[in-house]
């Protein structure tokens, strides 16, 4: 049986993704001691990230060459706008933050760089670029969620348990698997130089994922303060 493209990708991203589980933000989330102000910063930044991420799913649906791919992207868009963003809105309510305030969050430097990169490579290429751009986020969050779900009391934690439950859930796993299936299908019979480009997108977005965790841990915005961001 011919190896799947994601088997090749996994060999590249495995060391990067394993580092997520050692990152203090993710460890604190899984072990329950994460500072809530750091989580609040992540939640607000991830919300505006997900708005741009949703644009990618809409773009993928527009670029799709067949109805099956179009439908898959549409389902991913729906799942992100509702299931995933609902989690953020529910957490925001615990901090007294409205959905409108979430939406008006100023994007941090890392958030801006990450989403701009994904949108850029997606617009410059075909639907395969869009699939590669969205893969690391969905797949790695599911990877983290499933890993944390095995940690003692992570699923039952009074505050962070809902996070672990959602990203390890069957529903989110199905969304991640849709992304995996999409890239495996599109990679079939592609020449090596095209596969290498897709691989590079997945590796770079995996590095951006690490940078996003780091941004949340340090509650970073931009290197030099601006009165507009105060």
Helix and strand totals (H; E) in the chain = 11, 0
Q: Is 179 a catalytic residue?
A: no
The gap between the terminal CA atoms of the chain, to the nearest Å, is 56
Residue identified by tokens 């959602």 is 166
CA 119 to the chain's CA centroid: 14
CA 27 to the chain's CA centroid: 17
Rounded CA-CA distance 10/134 in Å is 15
Phi-psi region of 189 (alpha: psi -120 to 50; beta: other; left: phi over 0): left
Which of 130, 98, 113, 117 is CA-nearest to residue 223? 113
Of residues 137, 179, 199, 217, which has the active-site annotation? 137
Residue 57 three-state SS: helix
- DSSP H stretches of helix in 64-126: 67-79, 85-94, 99-103, 109-124
Q: Is 209 a catalytic residue?
A: yes
Of residues 84, 128, 199, 209, which has the active-site annotation? 209
* Residues assigned a catalytic role: 137, 209
């Amino acid at each position: 049986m011919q190896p799947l493209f994601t088997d090749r990708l996994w060999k590249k991203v495995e060391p990067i993704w394993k580092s997520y589980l050692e990152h203090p933000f993710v460890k604190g989330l899984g072990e329950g001691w994460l500072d809530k102000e750091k989580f609040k910063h992540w939640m607000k930044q991830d919300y505006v990230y997900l708005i741009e991420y949703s644009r990618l799913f809409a773009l993928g649906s527009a670029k799709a060459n067949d109805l099956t791919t179009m439908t898959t992207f549409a389902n991913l868009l729906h799942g992100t706008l509702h299931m995933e963003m609902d989690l953020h809105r529910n957490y925001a309510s615990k901090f007294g933050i409205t959905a409108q305030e979430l939406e008006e969050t100023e994007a941090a430097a890392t958030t801006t760089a990450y989403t701009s990169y994904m949108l850029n490579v997606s617009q410059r290429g075909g639907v395969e670029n869009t699939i590669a751009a969205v893969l690391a986020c969905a797949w790695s969050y599911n990877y983290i969620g499933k890993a944390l779900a095995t940690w003692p009391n992570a699923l039952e934690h009074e505050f962070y348990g809902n996070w672990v439950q959602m990203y390890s859930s069957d529903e989110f796993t199905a969304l991640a698997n849709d992304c995996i299936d999409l890239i495996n299908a599109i990679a079939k019979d592609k020449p090596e130089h095209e596969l290498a480009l897709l691989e590079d997108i997945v590796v770079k977005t995996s590095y951006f994922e690490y940078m996003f965790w780091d941004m949340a841990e340090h509650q970073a915005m931009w290197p030099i303060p601006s009165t507009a961001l105060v």
